[in-house]
Every structure is written in structure tokens, then in C-alpha cells.
Amino acid sequence: MKDLSNKNIIQIIKEDIQYLQFRKLLEYKDIITHAYPISLELNFSTNTNNTKQISENEYEKSTESYKKICNSLKINYKNIVKANQEHTDNIVDVKEKINKDSMDINLQKYKNTDGLITNKKNIILSTTNADCIIMLFFDPVTKTIANVHSGWRGTLKRISVKTVKKMIKDYKCNPKDIICCICPSIRQCHFEVDVDVKDLFEKEFQDLEMLDMQKIIQKQDKKEKWNIDTVSINKIILERQGLKRENIIDCEICSVCNSDLIHSYRVEKQGFGLSTALIALK
């Protein structure tokens, strides 16, 4: 299997599982644990659409995948709290586990939720993706963590910035202390959109510098299509919110370019699988 390690991320191989970890977050491994598993055999196919419940077989497969990664990290999979993810900008504070003997998945409390924040130990925040951006936030001063799903709709709604604002308001975080790590996702090389989506981004982010926008939204030469860099947008708006540039850390891995290891909706199409990102305070 190819090695996706780079200056920001390291690929861990343990027995029959492999996952990515951010070098910056590993500096705090006595406080937090985190991982982004890479294997198409792992499928975290929990319900992301409340109008359709997953089958018992899908739930069992998802549970086994969670068990596998959590066992490798030496954490209890039953402590997982999973947002239901519907491309919203809603972020929920996680004060406690609801199900004491099973994962908090598909719960009404986390309906219409795409971000989770906690400062409680032994709660594993989980989000899933298949091209969308996942951002892991950590404040080492207040010991606060967040796990946020931001597809292109979430980026338009600036869910990353709203997460930071909530961390400041509810947990007294200083944005200069917050670390944000950006997991594998579709990148500008493959995020192709039509004019309607392009127009939405131009309207929402017209406050960005013109030079930035020219790089972020690029028109293709031979057809009426545009490629958008949603990762760069999140970096810019997070820095404007007060995060230090050096604390916004991108894995620089495209899910489409690496679809042999990472689930990608645009590659797999119907029946696509889901990858996950986990973060927890010890």
C-alpha cells in the first residue's frame, strides 16, 4: 500500500489496520487521540439522511469498523458520538453520552447536525465523509475538541468559522490557541461545478481578496465548468477569525486522487462508502 505520509501527516500501520494522524496533534498525545482510517474495507455507513434508516446489516458493518479502529487506538468504541450530518451549519455541544452501553448514532439530539464540540474526557467525536471536508479542532489550553463536517454547502455556510465562534462563546477558547486539522477531501483538481454553484461561491465570498478568488475559482478552458478550492476558502476564513496560520494544518490529500484508499462519492457513485475521522480527550 502506498504511503500518504507528508510533512503534516503520518500513516500508521498496525496489524490489519492503517490510519492517518496529524503530526501536530501527536504533540498532545497525552491529552487527545485521533485518527482517520484509510481502507476501503472499512465502511462507516451510519445514517446521514434521517429520511432513510440504514439496514441492520449496514449498522453491523459500521459497528465492526468502529470497533476495529477504536481497538487499535485503545479506546472504547461505545463512547462514540456521531452527528447525523445533513450539510447544515448546526453545531452541538456534547455534554455526556446518552446511550451508556452503545454508540450514540442516529439519535434525535444530533439530527440536522454537522459539528460536535466537547471538553469531556472519553467522548469520541465522529464525523464521516466521502469527498467532503472534515476538520478536527483542538484547543490545548481549555482542552476543548471539535469534529466538523463541511461539504461545499457547509463551506458556503461558514460552519468552520461558526465552530470557532461557539468554542469561544461556550468554552472560553482563544482563537490564537485553536488548532484546526483538515482531513482528506476532494480538492480543487477534482471539485468541478456548474455555473450555479460557482455563482453561489462568488456571492458568499465576495469579501475575499480578488487575487485569492482568482486562484480559488478557476474556469476550465474548454467548457462552462469551474474548479473550486474549498480547502483554501476554509483556511482564509479561519485565519480571519483569529486562528494562527501555522495552526491551520492541511493533510494535502485528495480523496479522489487516492480513491484506492479513501472513500470518494465522485468515484464510487451509487453505493459509495464513508470514511471517518475520530477525536477524543483522554
Residues near 28 by beta carbon (within 8 Å), at least 6 away in sequence? 138, 140
Residue with more model confidence, 210 or 201: 201
Query: Residue 229: pLDDT above 60?
Result: yes
Query: Residue 77: pLDDT above 60?
Result: yes
Q: Classify residue 247: in a domain, yes or no.
A: yes
Query: Residue 178: pLDDT above 70?
Result: yes
Q: Classify residue 200: in a domain, yes or no.
A: no
C-alpha 227: how far from its chain's center? 21
For the chain, what is the radius of gyration of the CA atoms?
Answer: 18
Distance CA 241, CA 6 (A): 27
Of 71-85, 174-188, 199-213, the range with the lowest mean pLDDT is 199-213
Q: Classify residue 132: in a domain, yes or no.
A: yes
Which residue range forms the structural domain that includes residue 48? 9-191+229-281
For position 51, what pLDDT does the model report? 39
C-alpha 9: how far from its chain's center? 15
DSSP designation for 53: P
Q: Classify residue 3: in a domain, yes or no.
A: no
Q: Which residue has the cell 454537522?
A: 114
Distance CA 272, CA 86 (A): 16
For position 54, what pLDDT does the model report? 60
- State pLDDT tens for residues 233-249: 999 999 999 999 999 99
For position 19, what pLDDT does the model report? 97
Element (H, E) at 17: strand 17-22
Mean pLDDT of all residues in 247-273:
95
Q: Classify residue 116: in a domain, yes or no.
A: yes
Q: Classify residue 211: in a domain, yes or no.
A: no
CATH number of the CATH domain containing 93:
3.60.140.10
- Among candidate residues 4, 41, 18, the one with its CA nearest the CA of residue 273: 41
Cell of 165: 465562534
For position 16, what pLDDT does the model report? 82
For 175-191, give one letter per residue: b (16+ CB within 10 A) or e: bebbbbbbbbbbbbebb
Number of domains within the chain: 1
CA angle, 202 then 205 then 210, to 5°: 80
Query: Residue 57: pLDDT above 80?
Result: no
Query: Residue 148: pLDDT above 80?
Result: yes
Q: Classify residue 50: in a domain, yes or no.
A: yes
CA distances from 128 to 10, 33, 236, 247 (A): 20, 17, 23, 23
Q: Classify residue 119: in a domain, yes or no.
A: yes
